[in-house]
Structure 1
Amino acid sequence: MSVRRGVRVGVDVGSVRVGVARSDPDGLIATPVETVRRTPGQDGSARVVEIVREFDAVEVVVGLPRSLDGRERAAAGLARGYARTIARAVAPVPVRLVDERFSTSTAQRAMTASGRRARDQRSVVDQVAAVVILQAALDLERSTGTPPGTELTSGG
């Protein structure tokens, strides 16, 4: 079982900010890249696409928020739409949706445990959540030998 080589980009889609992380070329470790601001006129997707191209990414992993019972709510629709936008722009680079339940709360707990005050967390929590999403995807792929989540198709 071999794991594909190349940088992966992880994305945590929020209504105000988008967190972006990347992996090393061996797909072992996820690290934060930046937080992209969203405004009514600019959803930040152009910057995410630039990042994918800057790192010559072989895959984009977008977190798909689900409720505790596994159902998709409004936030999942936002993430799916954002992922479709990214997928169209970066094709033929695959874009995968992966379950991201608890990524933001995991990120907040990690930052609090490291001594970062809640007020100081807002600017980086989305990046850390993107790291959590991407690291979980990398770990799953390494343990199973198959890509995580589901790949977006032209129908989304």
Structure 2
Amino acid sequence: MGRIIGIDYGTKRVGLAVTDALQIIAGPLETVHAQDVLSYLKAYVQREPVEAMVLGMPRNLDGNATDNTQHVVGFQRKLQKEFPGIQVHLVDERFTSKMAQQTMLAGGLKKKARQDKGTVDRVSAAIILQSYLESRSYI
């Protein structure tokens, strides 16, 4: 059984998260520059078996596309081209940044750490991935 990678894609930074080997728990992995994310993922896939990738899809509160939606769709196409044997699932990412802030606050992170956008991106990716894992358990 391979791991599942969670991705919070942004045009500047990309937050990454990964499951444990049994695909039970998602944890933050890394924040990488958007232009380096494909090479980072290629290297990761060579080191670890990866079964799927979960990509956060940005939506407005009403469910319509945001300004960033087209960038995520383009990135999804790149993922599917680079990793044809790995499924790419889309997950609604509304409120994940807010939930990441609340999670870090509840976890006792200091204010400076909570303001680090890279940390927020990693935790957001973990929340996206964990929501995917939880949705599978209801199927």
Q: TM-score with structure 2 length normalisation?
A: 0.89
- Structure with higher strand content: 2
Q: Does 1:23 align with 2:19?
A: yes
Separation in 2 of the partners of 1:138 and 1:53?
Answer: 23
**Which residue number corresponds to residue 62 of structure 1?**
55
Aligned residues of 2:2 and 2:48 also touching (Cα < 8 A): no
The structure 1 residue matched to 2:130, chosen from 129, 135, 139, is 135
Q: Displacement, 1:94?
A: 0.9
Number of matched residues? 137
CA distance in 2, matches of 1:53, 1:91: 14
Contact 2:23-2:133 within 8 A present in 1 as well: yes
In 2, Cα distance between the equivalents of 1:43 and 1:99? 24
Give the % identical residues: 34
Gaps of 5+ in 1: 145-156
TM-score, with structure 1 as normaliser: 0.80
**2:30 match:** 34
1:45 and 1:82 in contact (8 A); partners too = no
Which aligned runs of 4 or more in structure 1 are off by greater than 4 angstroms?
Answer: none
Would the aligned equivalents of 1:9 and 1:21 in 2 still touch at CA under 8 Å? yes
Q: CA shift at 1:98, angstroms?
A: 1.2
Structure 2 residues without counterparts, runs of 5 or longer: none
